[in-house]
Amino acid sequence: MSETKEKKGWFSRLRDGLKRSSSAISGGITDIFTKRKLDDDVIEELEELLISADLGVATAARISANIAKTRYDKEIAPEEIRAALAEEVTAILDPVAAPFVLDESRKPHVVLVVGVNGSGKTTTIGKFAKQYRAAGKKVVLAAGDTFRAAAVEQLQIWGQRTGCDVITTKVGGDAAGLAFSAVEKAKADGADLLLIDTAGRLQNKSDLMAELEKILRVIKKLEPDAPHSCLLVLDATTGQNALSQVEIFGKICNVTGLVMTKLDGTARGGVLVAIADKFGLPVHAIGVGESEDDLQPFAANDFARALSGAGDT
Amino acid sequence: MFESLTGRLGDVLGRLTKRGALTEADVTEALREVRVALLEADVALPVVKSFIKRVKTRAVGTEVLKSVNPAQMVIKVVHDQLIEMLGSEQQELNLVAVPPVVYMMVGLQGSGKTTSTAKIAKWLTEKQSKKVMMASLDVRRPAAQEQLKILGEQTNIATLPIIEGQMPVDIAKRAVQSAKLQGIDVVLLDTAGRLHVDESLMAEMDAVHKESHPTETLLVVDSLTGQDAVNVAEQFKSRVDVTGIVMTRIDGDGRGGAALSMREVTGCPIKLLGTGEKLDELEAFHPDRIANRILGMGDIVSLVEKAAETIEKDEAEKLALKMQKGMFDLDDLASQLRQMRKMGGMNSLVGMLPGVGKMKKQLDAANLDDKLLVRQEAMIQSMTPKERRNPQIIAASRKKRIAAGSGMSVQDVNRLLKQHKQMAGMMKKVKKLGKKGIARGGMQGLLPPGMKL
């Protein structure tokens, strides 16, 4: 893996980020399983550990049951259970781990970025812009958050940092109109990638979701296939509500992939497992810090191992 | 926010109600579902466990088995326990200190600190008549300081001028000094979002705290947060003396378990709730009312308070005067429609009524939307002042004109006029009750015959 040669390999970054969370799980596992038989009590405790990593009741129960299936009533070592847990989680996550692929034939590849307030949409766009600029692509950013104070300025600063054009309108302006002119401009400039930021919105606010629909309609007038990708940004600290976010955003704007941010805290992002289980949407990247380089492709095995603490031993 | 949990508990407790006498097994079964409901609502696992344990000890055994109505008993125990979990009484913001009183806002990235800062500033200015200043200590996120400055301009609240490159501790020092000179009552320090595991940033927060001696250190927490909420709260509390919690995004469809666990685990009271994107969408936290809402018992007190606040006093007086005379014209109806919209529309009002929790889904499906209010208002606005005062002159040709003017149909105009007529009739009844007042005649007198409260 070439990334490991960087100042700090991405796996170790992820591990650093997830260690704090997984150490709680693996510590928990050691507590449960040292010299113990895998009986109903133990299964329940394992289930609870998974629940406290935000995997949700149903997913936690299913994974625990799977682990118990072949090992019931046997003496089992903590390492073994960690490996089994990592295996189960990998099995669920592997099909959804798919990096974001820029479609070079599009000119521009239009990406709409959506999510609830404060999930990290603008920061994620900044990080994406940095990566594709570094790869020599022409990237245009559209400051579609016309609601929050200084959101436009925030994206403009990212534009300056990364050397991308930023299309803006006035605060309170029409986001759909802005998206339209951004697509127009990006086409005219022959850009490779257009990243459209949107205002954060809670998925149960029907008026704000209707606004999102309008943005989609307007973009399609210029580019019937656009947006070619729609990324939903999820905050790792979010609990089971993330399921509702995926469901409703998915329904409204046909989400094509997920990005999970803030995995550098103690939040375990276990809800991603529940989401993968239920929706099977591709997970493109994870955010493990605030700097430009902290957006990493999502690798199921590493995530699972970090989550279950299997890599620690 | 709590609808889903309400629904879930409603189902479980509803089944108990239907069964009559309860066995111990029933209680255990019910509590198992309560446990799952709470976990699905993102209540922290240790909190759920202690909750279930406490309810069980109280519910199983004599208390339940010997009581006359076991189901009620269980509901009571769950309810009491919920209130205990939420903190038994409401806690106001502390303003008792030598001015300038310093408030410090802390929390993770994206939890809503800056918006909450502006909301609290606006709230203190308007409701407590305080002179407030805001200062952004966020030198990390691009344009964060700019964001607070713009919010200050929008709300007409002073912000500390931005000096590029100044460090948070120095900004805090300058904010307090500047507040002293300007005779500011409360100075709000909005800090950068930080992870509770980021040592250098936590140390910086500690330094700001030591420098500014805040009276309130408010931890801002997203109510959509999962199990991690409790780690966050514990970590922040261990570094600085957190005095209260602000829960944001209560208007989301998250089940709000974080709100339930927060108080129990940290001992910090939840002081305020952020209920929307607009800067006046901030509410005091009433544990008893939230507990009531969870159990589907409604939130009448909140409804009344909200109504009282929004209806401008003079309008209310005017209306009262007219009601006394038994008059109620279309202008009055229009102003009522406006009030309703201000209070957050039909859905928000209906949601606060008791027993509606379960119906809420159907109501949402029925699309009880606020467009209706807007349309009705549009029709009234399409009438001449004379027509509004004397609706009886509105004949067929006038109806056509009004319908065309508001983009509605004549049937819609008829419906509106009929509605107004019924309301005017009610006002006449109020007059008849006269000085004896509604108190004597009771609300019953106002309702159509055959309808009972």
Is some CB atom of chain A closer than 8 A to the CB atom of B97? no
- Chain B, residues 54-83, CB within 8 A of chain A, namely none
Please tell me which of A1-10, B15-24, B81-90, B316-325 the model is most confident about, judged by mean pLDDT: B81-90
Task: Find out whether B156 and B198 touch, Cβ atoms under 8 Å.
Answer: no
Question: Going by DSSP bridges, is the β-strand pair A295-297/B186-190 parallel, antiparallel, or unpaired?
Answer: unpaired
* pLDDT for res A212: 93
Q: How many Å apart are CA B239 and CA B255, to the nearest integer?
A: 28
Long-range CB contacts (within 8 A, 24+) of B167-170: B167/B139, B168/B137, B168/B139, B168/B192, B168/B204, B168/B207, B168/B208, B169/B204, B169/B207, B169/B208, B169/B211
**Do residues A81 and A29 touch, judged by C-beta distance below 8 A?**
yes
A118: closest CA of chain B, how far (Å): 4
* Separation in Å, CA of B162 to nearest CA in chain A: 14
Contact A265 B111 (CB under 8 A): no
Q: Any idea which of B124-128, B185-189, B228-232 has the lowest mean pLDDT?
A: B228-232
Q: In this complex, is the C-beta atom of B249 within 8 Å of any C-beta atom belonging to chain A?
A: yes
Residue B175 confidence (pLDDT):
95
Contact A101, A156 (CB under 8 A): no
Contact list, B201 vs chain A (CB under 8 Å): none
Contact B377, B370 (CB under 8 A): no
- Please give the average per-residue pLDDT across B193-212, as a whole number: 89
pLDDT at B361 exceeding the cut of 70: no
Instruction: Render pLDDT for B419-437 as a digit per residue (tens, 0 to 9).
Output: 888 888 877 776 665 544 4
Percent of chain A with pLDDT over 70: 87
Which of A151, A157, A238 lies closest to B225 in CB terms? A238
Out of A100-114, A176-190, B16-30, B368-382, least confident range: B16-30
Q: Is the pLDDT of residue B70 over 60?
A: no
The verdict on a CB contact (< 8 Å) between A150 and B150 is yes
Q: What is the pLDDT of residue B157?
A: 95
Extended beta strands in B57-183, E state: 101-107, 132-136, 158-159
Which is more confident, A293 or B118?
A: B118
Of residues B178 and A52, more confidence is placed in B178
- For the stretch B103-146, pLDDT in tens is 999 998 888 999 999 999 999 999 999 999 999 999 988 889 99
Strands A295-297 and A283-287: antiparallel
Residue B192 sits at the chain A interface (C-beta within 8 Å): no
Distance from CA of A106 to the nearest CA of B (A): 31
**Cis peptide bond prior to A108, omega within 30° of 0:** yes
Strand B270-274 vs strand B282-284: parallel, antiparallel, or unpaired? antiparallel
Confidence of residue A277 (pLDDT cuts 50, 70, 90): very high
**C-beta atoms of B112 and A118 within 8 A:** yes
A51 to chain B: which residues are within 8 Å by CB? 39, 45, 227
Is B154 in Cβ contact with A149 (below 8 Å)?
yes
**Average of pLDDT values for B282-303?**
59
Question: Tokens for B317?
Answer: 């007086």
Which chain B residues have a beta carbon less than 8 Å from that of A21?
Answer: 228
Quick check: B232 contacting A, CB < 8 Å?
Answer: yes
User: Are the beta carbons of B151 and A157 separated by less than 8 Å?
Assistant: no
> Which residues numbered 27-56 in A keep a CB inside 8 Å of some CB on B?
48, 51-54, 56
Would the ipTM clear 0.85, i.e. be above it? no
Q: Show which of residues 210-229 on chain B sit within 8 Å of chain A, judged by CB atoms.
A: 222, 224-229
Instruction: Please answer whether residues A276 and A93 qualify as being in contact, where contact means their C-beta atoms are separated by less than 8 angstroms.
Output: yes
**Whole-angstrom distance, CA of residue B294 vs CA of residue B16:** 16
The alpha-carbon gap from A200 to the nearest alpha carbon of chain B, in Å, equals 10
Cβ(A133)–Cβ(A295) below 8 Å: no
pTM: 0.73
Phi and psi for B6 in degrees, rounded to 5? -55, -45
Chain B neighbors of A116, CB-CB under 8 A? 224, 249, 252
- Asked if B199 reaches chain A (Cβ–Cβ under 8 Å), the answer is no
Q: Chain A: residue nearest B221 by CA?
A: A237
Residue contact A262–B109, C-beta within 8 A: yes
Question: Between helices A271-279 and A78-93, what is the axis angle to 10°?
Answer: 40
Q: Does pLDDT of A92 surpass 80?
A: yes
Rounded CA gap, A296 and B340, in Å?
48
Q: What share of chain B is helix, strand, coil (3-state, %, to 5)?
A: 60, 10, 30
Cβ of B227 and A235 within 8 Å? Answer: no
Q: DSSP secondary structure string, B272-303?
A: EEE-SSSTT-EEE--HHHHHHHHTT---HHHH
pLDDT tens profile A184-237: 999 999 999 999 999 999 998 888 999 999 999 999 999 898 899 999 999 999
Tokens of A107: 């000119």
Which pair of structure tokens corresponds to residue B20? 């009559």
Q: Is the dihedral of CA A134, A135, A137, A141 positive or negative?
A: negative
Max Cα–Cα distance, chain B, nearest Å: 75
One-letter amino acid for residue B153 of the chain: E
State whether residue A153 sits within 8 Å of chain B by CB: yes
Determine the residue type at B319. Answer: L
* Mean pLDDT to the nearest integer, A133-144: 93
* CA A158/CA A152 separation, integer angstroms: 10
Distance CA A220, CA B173 (A): 52
Query: Are the beta carbons of A216 and A253 closer than 8 angstroms?
Result: yes
Place of tokens 């989301």: B252
Q: Alpha-carbon distance B360 to B351, whole Å?
A: 7
B153's CB contacts (< 8 A; 6+ apart) are B159
Q: Please compute the mean of the pLDDT values over residues B28-37 and round it to a whole number.
A: 75
DSSP annotation string for A137-175? --EEEE----SSTTHHHHHHHHHHHHT-EEE---TT--H
